[in-house]
Structure 1
């Protein structure tokens, strides 16, 4: 799943990111133009079994979140 948040206000982007992180997913990509989102995501996933990769491409951030398998 890929979610493009670039057209939303920062407050709406924060709500959407929270919904994604708290939801049930295996893999998702978030595209944002807000650096605040990039700073918040690592703190939110710290105690969850989620792997995160971030890239800055074409004036926007792409964040890949992958739920780690529970053995």
Structure 2
């Protein structure tokens, strides 16, 4: 495992971040990135309401137990 300040700060295996991407930064992609050992981000702006964003975050938590983030525009 590669250790850098990034991997240690975020608790990931690889110093790679999948940035927020409009329309594709959803739970399935983010969970896949997290499960691969990198840091994925859900794109908040893709969700139409705060409630939908909360559901997408919960959905991602169901798909991975690894760290991920939320990109707030």
Band the TM-score falls in, shorter-chain normalisation = 0.3 to 0.5
More helix by share: 2
Alignment TM-score, normalising by the size of structure 2: 0.39
Q: TM-score, normalised by structure 1?
A: 0.40
